[in-house]
């Protein structure tokens, strides 16, 4: 798991060409102007989902993990907590869904607070719990870039 500010994205270009392309897209696009929805950057190799929502209490959160894609979760507006832990330390709650590349899990982990301009990168070993309220429920706008590994 990585947490940083978008202004430091160049440090992560070494993760590979797809990561470089994804970070350059985030830096060069006025994300505030994008409507909710899915936008292809490089077919199914790199795409972004823009979403607006109200953060929720931790009791309503779910741990998730992916196998085919890494996530770059970039906060466009607002603040939220995101949980993270090694997926191997959690108990599967559902069967892995290969079509949607998602596995839901249960257990405990740590939390980081992200503000507008911050991003977090989650790899397949990183279970994560997004969309959690920090101190109060808040409207958030976020871009989730999916990078095929």
Q: Kindly write down the DSSP assignment for every residue of 54-111, as one continuous string.
A: E-B-GGG--EEE-SSEEEEEEEEESEEEEEEEEGGGSEESS--BTTTTBEEEES--EE
Tokens 């970070």 belong to residue: 23
- Looking at domain 2-148, its CATH superfamily turns out to be YhcH/YjgK/YiaL (2.60.120.370)
pTM of the model as a whole: 0.95
8 Å CB contact between 144 and 75: no
Structural domain boundaries in the chain: 2-148
Q: 15-42 pLDDT, tens per residue?
A: 999 999 999 999 999 999 999 999 999 9
Please write the tens of the pLDDT for every residue from 94-147: 999 999 999 999 999 999 999 999 999 999 999 999 999 999 999 999 999 999
Backbone CA torsion sign across 87, 130, 37, 18: negative
**pLDDT, tens only, 56-106:** 999 999 999 999 999 999 999 999 999 999 999 999 999 999 999 999 999
Give me the percent of the chain exceeding a pLDDT of 70: 100
CA separation for the pair 67, 69 (Å, rounded): 6
pLDDT for residue 18: 98
């Amino acid at each position: 798991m990585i947490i940083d500010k978008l202004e430091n994205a160049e440090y992560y270009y070494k993760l590979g060409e797809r990561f470089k392309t994804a970070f350059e897209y985030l830096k060069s696009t006025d994300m505030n102007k994008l409507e909710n929805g899915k936008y292809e950057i490089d077919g199914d190799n790199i795409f972004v989902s823009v979403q607006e929502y109200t953060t929720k209490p931790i009791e309503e959160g779910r741990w998730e993990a992916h196998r085919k894609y890494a996530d770059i979760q970039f906060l466009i507006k607002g603040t939220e907590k995101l949980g993270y832990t090694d997926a191997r330390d959690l108990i599967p709650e559902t069967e892995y869904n290969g079509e949607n590349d998602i596995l839901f899990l249960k257990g405990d982990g740590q939390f980081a607070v992200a503000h507008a301009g911050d991003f977090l990168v989650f790899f397949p070993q990183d279970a994560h719990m997004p969309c959690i309220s920090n101190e109060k429920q808040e409207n958030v706008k976020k871009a989730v870039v999916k990078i095929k590994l």
